[in-house]
Amino acid sequence: MAAYYPPGGFHFKVEFIGVDGMDSDTEHRFQEVGGLSFEIEVEELREGGENRFSYKLPKRVKYPNLILKRGLLQGSAVLDWFKSALNTWFTVVIYDFKPADLMITLMDEAGIPVAIWNVVQAYPLKWSVSEFKATDNSTAVESMELAYQYFERKM
């Protein structure tokens, strides 16, 4: 029987499905993906006369926001998608965005997919860039925060 080794968490790609202009390979390169988790909410029920424990009943699943980080790119289709999500006309805010699905693929050292997560109906919430410091020799990193409905693991 062959020994199993868990895959490294550093070889992955993120694909935006349904975002116009996502042709270049550099658009899919992120240095960090966070928030790929879920938690089941529970309701606590206490029974009268029973002081040893309380019942915990499952309710629904909560998904935290997805946070993607990468080096700051010029002419990014993802950034254009972010900008189109919030258009301001005078004092009225018009939300004009089209949610997109994301495919997050974890790969082994040969580039073969080990696990794939399909993130459904993601939309932008926040974009930020790392601090600029004259004393640091670091790359400018853009951070993107996305809300989504749910995700499914395909592999």
Fold that domain 12-36+65-153 belongs to in CATH: Pnp Oxidase; Chain A (2.30.110)
Q: Is the whole model's pTM more than 0.85, yes or no?
A: no
Q: What is the pLDDT of residues 49-86, one digit of tens each?
A: 888 999 999 999 999 999 999 998 887 888 888 877 76
Q: What is the pLDDT of residues 85-119, one digit of tens each?
A: 766 555 566 666 688 999 999 999 888 999 999 99
- C-alpha distances in angstroms, 121 versus 19, 35, 66, 94, 102? 12, 15, 12, 19, 8
Domain boundaries, the chain: 12-36+65-153
Handedness of CA 121, 126, 131, 132 (dihedral sign): positive
Cβ pair 101, 138 in contact under 8 A: no
